Structure 1
Amino acid sequence: MQRGVGSGGPGGVYVVKLGGSVLTDKRRPFSLRLGVVERLAAELAAARGRLAGLVLGGGSFGHYTARVALEEARGPGEVLGLVTAAMMELALAVVDVLHSKGLYTLVLPPHAFCRPRGLRPGCDWAAARAARDVDAVPLTYGDAYPCSRGACIVSGDELLLEMACALGASEAVYVTDVDGLIVGGRLVEEVGVDELSALAAGGRSEGYDVTGGFARKLEALRQNLCPGLRSVWIVNGLKPGRLQRLLEGGRVTATRVTLP
């Protein structure tokens, strides 16, 4: 375990998840942080050559809608309709900004091309690969889908990892609202995946989240590893320039999780 400031992998290819805590104010339903989204879109566009794909978290769109629907015991059809519509709304809002920066995307709704089993999304990534062949960035997001229990949720955390493996990326990036993994008030620069459970014990998330906390994220990571994926990064998207520097291989305040 190392503490300090790390740098992105030289020559790496990245799949990036823009977390809901960055895209939205998770305490205010349907609140897009437009200024933050515009800046992140510019950073992604500047590093376009190393970007293989994008994933969006649900934030105060999908998570909030799912939470309210479950609390009010809505029927599965209504849950599916409400959550998928909320996530489409968020995705299209973000896509509008990405396109304004010259970063063109193909939006892939998980309910239409994924068949999750446990923490494995089970997506058909053929369209994502085809999008890259014509210089478009495949974009997907956490979503609801029909399942044996009626309506289930596939998390952007799991989609990030499976997408990275399917597209041959070497690096997966969680863009969030914290600097990385903080232990004892200090940033952990680098940590092996097997050390994470002990280091993150006692951590918790705030705001709307129906996809589970850190334990689920860690298990999703373990279940979706592949030989070509070298690292998972946690970087603060609310700090200007950090995401772009990471994608360009520069030194940046972040946590790197090294994979076997």
Structure 2
Amino acid sequence: MYQVIQYIKFLLKSTNQHGVHSPFVYNLVTTCFYDKSKHNSYKAIRSYKALLLQNKTKIKVEDLGAGSQKMKQQKRLIASIAKNAGTTHKRAKLIYRITNYFKPNTILELGTSLGIATHAMHLGNPKASITSIEGCPETSLCSKKQLEHFKTENIKLITGDFNTEITKLKTQHYDLIFFDGDHKKEATLHYFKTLLQTTTNDSVFIFDDIHWSEGMTEAWETIKQHPKVTVSIDTFFWGIVFFRTEQAKEHFTIRI
């Protein structure tokens, strides 16, 4: 019910490209978000998830974050995870377009899950160096096998606790970070603050499920107000922030 109410609020204040006066955001919305082209990579994105949906192997899932709202049992079919908790086809295509649009050289993903978004980002920029962290060992192993099957390169999978692993990575610089692993307010804000030092002027942070719960919405509001954040975009399912010092601080609510 919370998400339904939040979505109604979102629809009431959201806009499309016609309500955007920032050239940077206008170009992003029209050229990337609303790109209707039938990219060849979409077939590979669909094939990747289709193979997972056929996989009847059961794995032991360790939910280190907020967990799944649909699946509570620990032993789960890979096919069920792909169907209920994996990145949707619509979002996989969007993360592909975003990666293809910005061409980030270095990408960090918190929450590999089955690697659907990881694979899509790789297709968006095959030359990018991607580091993806997954807390569940069996899920991580499944992702590794799946990504190897699709002959991906330049992807480093790390199995471990986010808190421990990002501490080792915070001296790096990342052009894009996808936060998709722990849907709790305190954890999200901690990861955000820890990884702020990895940003450059052109970095992009994407937060999944910003309206998952009241706590996640509060986390999103705090992130938007941070002094280093100049542009923020609420797409309802994702919150996207930029650190471009040449941009005036402004928030956008965009329907996709």
- TM beyond 0.5: no
Q: Which has the higher strand share?
A: 1
Q: Which has the higher helix share?
A: 2
TM-score by length of 2: 0.37
Give the structure, 1 or 2, with the largest relative contact order (CA under 8 Å, sep 6 or more).
1
TM-score by length of 1: 0.37
